[in-house]
Amino acid sequence: MITDAEKKAVETQYVEEAKYLTGQMDGNIKSRHILNMFQDYPEREYPEEDIMDPKKKKDPKAKPKKKKKEKELPYPDWGVELQNVRDTVD
């Protein structure tokens, strides 16, 4: 419609306002799309942290505890490469 208006020589003030409003609407649509992608992404589960009691002292003779291997967090297809994330968000 904006290109039609420009062809028909509509007042430039109205054309500029239309461009501004369509830009705002486009930004709103993109932000909603990005929000939906983040909401569709499954919530990550983090392991509980060990609670350290500051009153207890470490036994120097004690064997160090083995840490569990942390599994890699899943990423969505669009979030694997940084450039894809930037392209999707921009």
**Residue 88: exposed, middle, or buried by beta-carbon count in 10 A (0-12, 13-18, 19+)?**
middle
Q: Report how far Cα 79 is from the mean position of its chain's Cα atoms.
A: 8
Q: What is the mean pLDDT of the chain?
A: 77
Q: For residues 2 and 14, give the distance between their C-alpha atoms in angstroms, rounded to a whole number.
A: 9
Residue 2: which residues within 8 A CB-CB, separation 6 or more?
15, 18, 19, 22
Residue showing tokens 């899943």: 74
Which range scores top for mean pLDDT: 40-44, 65-69, 71-75? 40-44
What is the pTM for the complete model shown?
0.38
Q: How high is the pLDDT of residue 62?
A: 67
Stronger pLDDT, 29 or 16, i.e. the higher one: 29
Tens digits of residue pLDDT in 20-63: 888 888 888 888 998 888 888 888 787 787 777 777 766 666 67
Q: How high is the pLDDT of residue 41?
A: 82
